[in-house]
């Protein structure tokens, strides 16, 4: 388990008043936000004074990295480059100025990577929603020329495809056989894509 000491801010407020004895209620409730398959964010609002203590965060397992920002009593810690589907145990310690320690433990599980590990039911293309949104899971898509079926997993070729193109008399009078072959080859590829 890695232990990192977190400074409460770039500057420390000086106070002449003695620091009270804090309780876990003073530390506020921790909320977990934006849980993806490789990241998550913790937020909490505490009732402590910066000059009266500091936070230390222990994380297990130790992969990935994190950074925390302190804006008065609002704390945000972002954890990034994590493993998909992994449960992380976080011990959040508040150590006051006379070395009393208040510890809160939190388990956070990142979303699994259904597209990366093959644990999905998509016939052609799997799109992991967590890479783009805050919603867990995945959605299916289809290659060009196919449509997603009503089951939202299978792909089917369109029932009817109409290819329209115009050929002029100038096009038919190609002097160069290579150019004619290239045009026919492109037409075959285009037709093949829509009939598969």
Architecture of domain 112-159: Ribbon (2.10)
> pLDDT of 115-165, one tens digit each?
877 778 899 998 877 554 445 578 899 998 888 999 989 998 876 656 666
Has this prediction a pTM greater than 0.85? Answer: no
pLDDT, greater one: 195 or 6: 195
Give the per-residue pLDDT at 54. 84
Residue 14 has pLDDT above 50, yes or no: no
> pLDDT of 92-127, one tens digit each?
888 888 888 999 899 998 888 778 777 788 999 988
- The verdict on domain 2-109 having CATH code 1.10.4160.10 is no
Give the per-residue pLDDT at 107. 92
3-41 as b/e, with b when 16 or more CB fall inside 10 Å? eeebebeeeeeeeeeeeeebeeeebbebeeeebbbbbbb
Which parts of 72-164 are beta strand (E)?
Answer: 74-80, 87-96, 101-109, 125-128, 138-141, 147-148, 155-156
Domain boundaries, the chain: 2-109, 112-159, 160-196
């Amino acid at each position: 388990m890695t232990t990192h000491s977190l400074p409460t801010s770039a500057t420390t407020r000086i106070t002449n008043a003695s620091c009270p004895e804090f309780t876990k209620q003073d530390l506020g409730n921790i909320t977990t936000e934006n849980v993806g398959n490789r990241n998550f964010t913790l937020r909490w609002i505490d009732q402590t004074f910066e000059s009266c203590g500091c936070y230390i965060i222990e994380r297990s397992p130790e992969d990935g990295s994190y950074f925390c920002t302190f804006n008065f009593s609002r704390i945000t810690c972002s954890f990034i480059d994590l493993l998909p589907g992994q449960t992380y145990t976080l011990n959040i310690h508040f150590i006051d100025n006379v070395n009393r320690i208040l510890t809160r433990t939190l388990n956070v599980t990142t979303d699994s990577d259904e597209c990366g590990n093959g644990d999905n039911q998509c016939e052609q293309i799997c799109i992991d929603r967590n890479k783009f949104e805050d919603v867990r899971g995945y959605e299916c898509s289809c290659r060009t020329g196919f449509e997603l079926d009503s089951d939202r997993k299978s792909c089917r070729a369109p029932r009817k495809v109409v290819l329209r193109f115009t050929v002029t008399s100038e096009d038919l009078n190609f002097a160069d056989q290579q150019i004619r072959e290239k045009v026919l080859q492109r037409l075959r590829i285009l037709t093949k894509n829509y009939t598969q």
